[in-house]
Every structure is written in C-alpha cells, then in structure tokens.
With several copies, the nearest count.
Chain A
Amino acid sequence: MTDDAADAPHVATDDVARKLEAILLIVEEPQSLVSLAAAVGAPVPAVRQAIEALVDDYDGRAGGPVRGFELREVGGGWRLYVREELDDLVSEFVGGQAPSRLSQAALETLAVIAYKQPVTRSQVASIRAVNVDSVVRTLLARGLITELFTDAETGAINYGTTDALLVHLGINSLDELPHISPLLDGADEVAGDVFDGGARR
C-alpha cells in the first residue's frame, strides 16, 4: 500500500490507521504499541503516529465530527471507549445492576499493595493493623491483585497489582499513582521493623 513514495506518509498513516481500527474493534484488552505494530505489520513509530492521528480524529480535531467513541491509553495499551459524555446514555441502554463497590478496608488494602508491592499478606496486615485475609481474597477474585511469587525462605506469597487494576483506575502505569513518598519516608523501614519486631507468628 505504500508504493507511492510521493504521498507515502499520508497514505501510509491512513492505511495503518485503518488496520488499527480493525484490530481495536475486536480486542478485549488494551493493546500496547508493540503488539499493535506486530498486528498491522508497521514499525512502532508509524503506529504511534497513526494512533495519535486517530485520537485527534475521533476527538473531532481532524476536520471530522466528534465521534461517539474515543481511543484511550489505559493499563499499558490502547482501547476503544465510549466517549465520556455518552456514558450515561449507554448505561441507560445496557441497564444492568450497580457495580459492587469495594469496601473501605479493601480500598486501603489495595492502596498498600499498590505502593508496597511485592508485599506479603502479613506485611499488609502489619500496616493496616487488621486481618486482611478476606480482603486479599476479594481483591484476588476481582483480578485487581495477583500472586507474584512465593518467598523461598518463608513460603509467604508476595502480592502485586495487575494491569486490570490500572484499567479500572483509568491510568496507564503505576507511575501515575499519586505521590505519597513524603508520608512514607522510612515506611519500608517501619514496616520492616514492625514486621520483624512484632509480627512473628
């Protein structure tokens, strides 16, 4: 399709964009640029350019109308979403039950795991000062956290967050978590001390 060297950039972008649209229509998960590049057989920079063009296009910045959908980068990849202002319309159409929300305890546990991963259950418990077993189980069942590895010495399972969590938060990577380091300076040390000192069982 990119035979014509003269207007190659435009044609190429259009062609890549069209292929991307086809792929994006059928995927169930956010797709990274690399995976998209492999799918459409184009170099990553060309894909990035085409994605950017599509974002602008759908947002009405390319001369066309604002589309009812948009292209968002979440959880490490790109995916088609209903445009935010039309979410209510779509909610009404699909009906459905109110989503079951996480309890405050689950939210706090999730926050601890997100910031301190990889982290064991007892480490989380020592920070949260409560038993977190059932909460961890809920978070696992929802696919928001996952078992990363088992400590060879203690046999304790280390937990971390999943890409699904990023999607649920609407962010692209853990770097986008709010910065809380001022509050947590020395927190590792503290958690460690608490763990070593008092958390034996």
Chain B
Amino acid sequence: MALSPDASTASATDGTGPEQTERVAETVEGFRVSLSNFDGPFDLLLNLISKHELDITEVSLSKVTDEFISYLRQLGPEEDLDEASEFLVVAATLLDMKVAGLLPQGELVDAESVALLEARDLLFARLLQYRAFKEVSAWFERCLRREERRHTRSVRLDEKYRNAVPELAWSLSVDDFAALALLAMTPKEIPHVGLDHLHAPLVSIREQAAIVVTLLRDAGTLTFRQLIAGANQPGVVVARFLSVLELYRHAALSFEQLEPLGELTLRWSAQRWSDENLATLGADYDR
C-alpha cells in the first residue's frame, strides 16, 4: 500500500534498513505522541488512536485524521519527498475512512455509500490484523533472541567419514553458475511503488518515466507543472509523479519545493544514467 521510503541512507548490514525507521521517526516528532516502536504510518496511526484513549470510533478517527492531515501540511520543503510520500497513502486511507464515517448511518440509499462503509470496516479489520501480527512479532523476536544464544553441535565431518558422503548432486552449467554469481552480487530487485490504492493500472509508468527522462534531460530543470503540461488524464499525472519518485530513488533527479504545496521544481542530476534503467523501472506496474 504505502511507499517504502528510500533507504539510501539505510544501513547496509541489513537490507531492511533500521535507519529507515529512525529517519521516519524523526519526521514524526512533531506529533507529540509517544513513538517507542515507530515503524511506519500504520504504527503512527495506531499510536494516535491510542493517544486518544478511544477505541476506533468515528469521532476519534476524524480527530486523528485531522491531526494527521495537519501534520502532513506542516511537512516543509526541506522534508524528503520520500518521507512525505510515505504518509500520503495513509492520509488517503484516513480520508476515505473519515468520509465513510461522516456518512449518515440511517440513510444508506446508494450502493456507493454502502461500499464506502464496507471499505471502512475493511480498513478497521486490517488495522486490527496488522496490530495482531505486530504483537506476535514480539514473540518471534523473543524466541529468536533466546535461541541465538544457544549453541548446538555443528562441527565438520571427520575425514574418515567424508569418503562415505554421497557424491554431490550438481546440475549447474558453467553459465548457470555465472548467472548465479551475478544474481548473488547484484542488488537487482527494483524498489517499487505500491499501486494498491489505484483502481486500475491505466497508464504505464515505464512509458511515463521515459517521457519524464526525455523532457527533464533536455530541459535540465522543469517544474512539475511543466512536466505534466498537456497531460489531461489524472492517470498520466499520477504515473508521471510516481516515475519522478522512482527516478529520485535512482538518484537521477533532485527536486526543490520552496513552500508547502508550492511549486515543485525538478532538476536532472543523474551522474550515470542508462536508459536500461527504464526497462526495469516500470516493470511492476504495467501488467
């Protein structure tokens, strides 16, 4: 659902990047809530809910939503786009929930409002489920920590038994082996943007990224407004925005935004860019 934040500064020792959490946690200090285990927007949401000492009700929810959105507004231009985008999906989700909550309960006449309410229930259920897994993960951690201290016997087989070991079943050709080496040494998975919140992938992000690259590389600097000039489909605008995010991840561009919600200026800043990157950039979205 949410964008995973760019882990460009995340620790390399663990691909999951503990620092990523820290960075986001810093962003969130403005919320004045206890963030002992902050781990992303949903966590933040749960924290906010618990802060209001209420179960998830419409009232608390709209309050939480307001707080969340107002925090989002405060995110200044100095904030990383990645960090901000991390919150966008949750903000959208919350808005959905708020809208659903504001619907008069007794007047369920059209299918659309029923669907909205169902969507809200679904989101509640999902929050609860998320919390369940979060809680049980503490048990996992406890067990793993306890066991990592344990020592089991694990020594090399004595020479005299080694002759008896059955021949290794080997099926790799030398080319397979080289491919495996490449696989092992290349961080080749493409960070991708979840499009769960979009209803249908109408536009190819790869194509839009190609356009963005072409426009931006030629011009050097463009505002986002200029970049989407002439794009009259919302899907195209969204896809261009997402490709901007993706290109930022590839360190192909930088951006500037002088005031909140102000003009977004993009600058082509790729040190080494190969159009091959494009081939993989959109692969996840256009099927």
Contact = CB atoms under 8 A, between A and B. Distances in A.
Q: Determine direct contact between A and B, CB below 8 Å.
A: yes
Interface of A: 22, 24-28, 69, 79-82, 84, 87-88, 90-92, 94-95, 97-112, 114-115, 125-131, 133-135, 137-138, 140-142, 144, 167-171, 176-178, 180, 183-184, 186-187, 190-191, 193-201
Given A26-B157, A107-B140, A198 B15 contact: yes
A97 B153 contact: no
B191 A133 contact: yes
Contact of B147 (A25, A98, A168): A168
Do most interface residues of chain A lie in helix, strand or loop, or is the interface mixed? helix
A129 B189 contact: no
A91 B14 contact: no
Interface in B158-189: 158, 160-162, 164-175, 177-178, 180-187, 189
A94 B193 CA distance: 44
Given A81-B151, A111-B181, A168-B144, A134 B16 contact: yes
B164 A91 contact: yes
A99 B167 contact: yes
Given A104-B39, A131-B192, A142-B168, A199 B150 contact: no
Nearest to B123: A194
B53 interface: no
Interface size class of B (residues with CB under 8 A): 35 or more
Contact of A183 (B144, B145, B182): B182
B200 A108 contact: no
Contact of A25 (B10, B153, B192, B194): B153
B114 to A, nearest CB: 14
21 contacts: A82-B152, A91-B160, A94-B162, A97-B165, A99-B169, A100-B13, A105-B16, A107-B138, A108-B134, A109-B184, A115-B181, A127-B126, A127-B184, A131-B194, A167-B147, A169-B144, A180-B182, A186-B125, A190-B122, A194-B122, A201-B195
A198 B196 contact: yes
Contact of B196 (A81, A108, A187, A199): A199
**Residue among B167, B168, B181, B287 with max Cβ neighbours from chain A (10 Å):** B181
Given A79-B153, A104-B137, A198-B197, A135 B148 contact: no
B40 A81 contact: no
Interface stretch (B1-9, B71-79, B212-220, B224-232): B1-9
B111 interface: no
B255 interface: no
A18 to B, nearest CB: 14
B174 A198 contact: no
A96 B37 CA distance: 29
B122 A107 contact: no
Contact of A115 (B122, B133, B192): B133
B125 A107 contact: no
Contact of B1 (A100, A110, A125): A125
A28 B154 contact: yes
A25 B39 CA distance: 41
